[in-house]
Every structure is written in structure tokens, then in C-alpha cells.
């Protein structure tokens, strides 16, 4: 059973999400929060598999709540999906940097939301190739930054580094396999090993590490 916590300051949205989640046999809603501080407290209390986190909430916002949750050693099993209104939301990259496993547009279909919860609970990252490319392009263009290569980057093999960069650019495992002439399973293995060596929580953080290392 996948446990889910809902963090949103709008009662109607929480009601809708709870109704959707609780109709699924493999999902259950274990708590709700209407502000950022409550989200942190409820996450610590219930230790859900997934938190659906709104960005704009009173008290502390969803970004700070995400940072506090992912920094808690007792909550390493909890993954956060950030809910946002706009695909180009300036907060999305910060959410990933703070440890979120991805983001979902609030106008996503019920099927997409359920798929997102299951994907992230299974260890995947919730960023479609098109959204990832848009995100990276926007921040590379609009957010000048001093590159700070990840200290463990030299531990990657050439192939792991190559697949990491392609994954961070938004390519799926299938696309990486086609680009490099390898099997999908091999592509998945290389990406997974890169994430493990760099200490990435999931595939989403590879985008952050590649961006901050100057590889994008």
C-alpha cells in the first residue's frame, strides 16, 4: 500500500485529491496539511511514501517544507511531488534542488496524477522529457551561476557520465539507448549507477547535479 500525504491550502483541492487517492486499491491518504509547517509536522508524524506538496502555502512555503522534510534523516523513505500551476514556474528548479522527486501541473488528469504517485513511489522521477528540457533551457538561459562540479563526478565511468548528462537533458531510457546504441536495460543500469555514486535521491536530482556541475 502506497501512503500519501496532501499539502495544499485549498480545502477543495485536498478533498478532490483525497477522494481520487482513496478510491484506488493500492493507495491511501494518511493525512492532510493546509500550510507548510503543518506539512512538515504531519510528514514526520505519518511518514508517508509520497507527499503531494503545493508550492504556495501560508506559514512556510512548499519549497521550505520540502527542504526540511528531505533534510530529516528519519524521512529518507518519503518522496515529494511538487504541485505547481505553471510549467515554467520559477520555483520548480528550487524544488528539485531541495530534494523533490519531481513536479506535476495542477491541471494534470486524474490518471496522470495516479501514475505520478506510483512512479515516484517506485523510485522513478516525475519529469517528462519535454518538461525537463524546457526547465533546463530556461534556467541555463535565465539563471547565471558559478559551476561547482560534484566532488564525486570523477568516480563515474565515461559511459555513466554520458548517460547521466543525457538523462539530465530529459531523454528517457529508451531515447538514451537509441542515442548510444545500447539496450534499454543497460541505459537504465548506467543511469542508476551514476545516481548511486553521486548520492542522488533519484533521477530528478541528476538534473540538479548536472546543472550545477556545468554539464548542461
Identify the pLDDT of residue 104: 80
- Helices H / strands E in the chain, number of each: 10, 5
Per-residue pLDDT band for 78 (boundaries 50, 70, 90) equals: very high
Q: Per-residue DSSP letters for 63-103?
A: HHHHHHHHH-GGGTT-EEEEEES-TT-THHHHHHHTT--EE
Whether the per-residue pLDDT at 186 is higher than 90: the answer is yes
Gap between the Cα atoms of 114 and 74, Å rounded: 26
CA distances from 121 to 49, 52, 134 (A): 6, 12, 24
Q: Which residue in 73, 67, 76, 214 sits closest to 150, CA to CA?
A: 214
Class of the CATH domain delimited by 2-126: alpha beta
Per-residue pLDDT band for 77 (boundaries 50, 70, 90) equals: confident
Whether the per-residue pLDDT at 174 is higher than 90: the answer is no
Which of residues 3 and 136 earns the better pLDDT score? Answer: 3
- The listed range with the strongest mean pLDDT (97-101, 131-135, 146-150, 151-155) is 151-155
Gap between the Cα atoms of 187 and 185, Å rounded: 5
CB neighbour list of residue 122: distance below 8 Å, 6 or more residues apart: none
Question: Quick one: what percent of the chain has pLDDT higher than 90?
Answer: 42
What residues does each domain of the chain span?
2-126, 139-212
Gap between the Cα atoms of 139 and 206, Å rounded: 15
Q: Which of 3.40.50.300, 3.40.50.360, 1.10.10.10, 3.20.20.80 would CATH assign to domain 139-212?
A: 1.10.10.10
Q: What is the pLDDT of residues 192-211, one digit of tens each?
A: 889 889 887 777 777 778 87
Q: What is the pLDDT of residues 27-53, one digit of tens each?
A: 999 999 999 999 999 999 999 999 999
pTM reported for the whole predicted model: 0.70
Gap between the Cα atoms of 31 and 33, Å rounded: 7
Amino acid at each position: 500500500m502506497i501512503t500519501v500525504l496532501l499539502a495544499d491550502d485549498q480545502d477543495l483541492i485536498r478533498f478532490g485529491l483525497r477522494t481520487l487517492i482513496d478510491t484506488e486499491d493500492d493507495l491511501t491518504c494518511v493525512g492532510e496539511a493546509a500550510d507548510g509547517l503543518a506539512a512538515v509536522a504531519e510528514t514526520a508524524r505519518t511518514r508517508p511514501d509520497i507527499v503531494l506538496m503545493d508550492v504556495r502555502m501560508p506559514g512556510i512555503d512548499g519549497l521550505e517544507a520540502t527542504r526540511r522534510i528531505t533534510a530529516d534523516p528519519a524521512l529518507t523513505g518519503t518522496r515529494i511531488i511538487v504541485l505547481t500551476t505553471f510549467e515554467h514556474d520559477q520555483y520548480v528548479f528550487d524544488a528539485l534542488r531541495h530534494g523533490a522527486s519531481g513536479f506535476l501541473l495542477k491541471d494534470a488528469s486524474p490518471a496522470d496524477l495516479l501514475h505520478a504517485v506510483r512512479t515516484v513511489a517506485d523510485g522513478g522521477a516525475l519529469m517528462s522529457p519535454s518538461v525537463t528540457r524546457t526547465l533546463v533551457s530556461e534556467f541555463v538561459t535565465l539563471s547565471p551561476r558559478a559551476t561547482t562540479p560534484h566532488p564525486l563526478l570523477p568516480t563515474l565511468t565515461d559511459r555513466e557520465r554520458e548517460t547521466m548528462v543525457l538523462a539530465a537533458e530529459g531523454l528517457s531510457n529508451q531515447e538514451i539507448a537509441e542515442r548510444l546504441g545500447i539496450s534499454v536495460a543497460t541505459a537504465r543500469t548506467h543511469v542508476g549507477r551514476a545516481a548511486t555514486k553521486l548520492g542522488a535521491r533519484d533521477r530528478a536530482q541528476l538534473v540538479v547535479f548536472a546543472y550545477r556541475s556545468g554539464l548542461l
